[in-house]
Chain A
Amino acid sequence: MIKIANVSKVFENGKTKLEAVKDISLKINKGEIFGIIGLSGAGKSTLIRCLNRLEEPTEGKIFINDLELTSLNKEDLRLARKNIGMIFQHFNLLDQKTVYENIAFPLRLEKLGKKQIDARVNQLLEYVDLKDKKNNYPSQLSGGQKQRVAIARAIANNPKILLSDEGTSALDPKTTKSILELLKKIRDEFNITIVMITHQMEVVKEICDRVAIMENGQIVEINTVENLFKNPKTKVAHSFINSLQGNVEEEIINPKNYKGKIIRLSFMGDSAKKPIVSKVIRNFNIDVNILSGNINKLHASSIGNLTLELIGEDDEINNALLFLKNESVHVEVI
């Protein structure tokens, strides 16, 4: 659906050169909610802006459904952009226009008839639950309401792709959740591909199917969200997971401070329901000390993490580890 091939972006300012995106290749499937997470300055915003060429890639190609976006001239690009909706951190609404007129804006660009516009805008107003705000101006709306208007505007022309550049970063947690629910609803009902840039792991956890982690202009890890939580490979991924509320294990637990072996278990799906820890204690001659634990609710499943200290003979501990692996629990020795 979306194919990014060896895309780089270099910003040149006199003598200073900034490589914001370094040779990124990536495929995003149709109907997928794909997250790109990274700290500020990681280049994720530049990357998403390359997807509709608000930022011209210095090198590389971008394909949208086999159409090579990067080869289009200005006029063809303008037409192609109508198939790519975009929402922004600061909403970017027309302040001097009513909610109704803001949503009608892309339709007016198409020079649609008055009746057609009216029908579509009213339908969208209902969809984003803002019927009663129709004649209000953006300054009279809350942040969440503004983003709803922006979303309605972005999907007015039935685009195939929706880009979100930090679309929830200016919102409080509760509002963020409702916006994410709306985005999910849009994907489920219209099969739109959604690409979201964020620095909040909550967003990824809540709705993304897959996620890419960016650091210094490169993608350092790309995985399904389940697998990322189960088995994060990079340090950044770890720190993003730990940034979630209640996930504070690794920083506090230093294996050197313990006599026994420290292990981290990740449970997913059915394995979470079995009394695994008590089985370990009963079947093997070891003591188990629970150091920390948490459960992350992802949009499709839950992932539980448990950090344990195993105290006993090496042989017994190894057997216990083997047993855990057979119980389809992901085991990591710290």
Chain B
Amino acid sequence: MAEMIIPSILETIYMVSVSTIFSILLGFPLGVLLVITEKGSIWEKPLFNKILGGIINVLRSIPFIILMIIVFPISKLIVGKTIGTTATIVPLSIAAAPFVARVMEGSLKETPKGVIESSLAMGATVPQIVFKVLIPESLPSIVSGITLTIINLIGYSAMAGAIGGGGLGNLAIRFGLYSRKTDIMIASIIVIIILVQGIQFLGNRISKIVNKK
């Protein structure tokens, strides 16, 4: 059983870590834009803010399984194929990016208004406020948000297993569910639980360490 489980664990870790990186690269800047273009914020662009918010909401409304199929052409364009571990990274990243944007928006908004005002009063530019105030001040909350994203991606990646995604989800569905090998299914689920618990634990610890408040 171990020779089946271990490669699947590695596949899951690979899919989740790479798509975490990509979804943050895509979603984090969007989250920053959502915060600073809001009415009354440091780079007010109300119309842009509404449109961006709308697009993010639409993307978040599409069920992951369907989104995965919709982006098959993009996966094919980038990776060259539509099934397998690497190909799954594309829909995973696209699905998680709007989620990351909203989570980061929430984190960045935790910075008290007064702190931003005092930076404005000191003559800080918009980029200075973003990089020297907003992001460092909300770092603990950003870490919690990333933890949440990783755990969500583990869930998504298990779903992706249903349509040829690879990893622990694929193992649980293909061998456990379809071939009625209950022991493999249970083992896969236990490993996923351990992964989720471990990441949550680590995330909480890091968030606490970086928080000086």
Contacts and interface: CB of A to CB of B under 8 A. Distances in A.
A139 B213 contact: yes
Nearest to A84: B121
Interface residues on A, range: 20 to 34
Contact of A78 (B112, B114, B115, B123): B123
Given A90-B114, A92-B117, A94-B115, A78 B125 contact: yes
A232 B133 CA distance: 45
Q: B-side binding surface: helix, strand, loop or mixed?
A: helix
A150 B137 CA distance: 17
Contacts of B140: 96
Given A54-B117, A88-B114, A109-B128, A96 B213 contact: yes
A228 B18 CA distance: 70
B115 A81 contact: no
Interface residues of B toward A: which range?
A: 20 to 34
A238 interface: no
Contacts of A85: 121-122
A154 B128 CA distance: 17
A108 B114 contact: no
Nearest to A157: B122
B28 to A, nearest CB: 18
B182 interface: no
Q: Main SS of the interface on chain A?
A: mixed
A77 to B, nearest CB: 9
Contacts of B128: 109
Question: Which of A54, A84, A96, A157 has the most chain B CB within a 10 Å cutoff?
Answer: A96
A109 B118 CA distance: 13
A79 B213 CA distance: 31
A79 B123 contact: yes
Interface string B97-124: 0000000000000001011011111111
Interface in A65-115: 78-82, 84-86, 88, 90, 92-98, 105-106, 108-109
Nearest to B125: A78
Of B123, B132, B137, B211, chain A has the most CB atoms within 10 Å of the CB of: B123
B137 A82 contact: no
B101 to A, nearest CB: 22
A96 B211 contact: yes
Nearest to B112: A92
A254 to B, nearest CB: 45
Q: Which 9 A-B pairs have the closest CB atoms?
A: A92-B118, A82-B123, A92-B114, A137-B212, A81-B123, A86-B121, A95-B213, A106-B122, A78-B123
Interface of A: 52, 54, 78-82, 84-86, 88, 90, 92-98, 105-106, 108-109, 137-139, 150, 153-154, 157
Given A78-B124, A106-B123, 9 more contacts: A78-B125, A79-B123, A93-B115, A94-B136, A95-B115, A96-B210, A96-B211, A109-B125, A139-B213
11 contacts: A54-B121, A82-B122, A82-B123, A88-B117, A92-B112, A92-B115, A94-B137, A96-B136, A96-B212, A108-B132, A139-B213
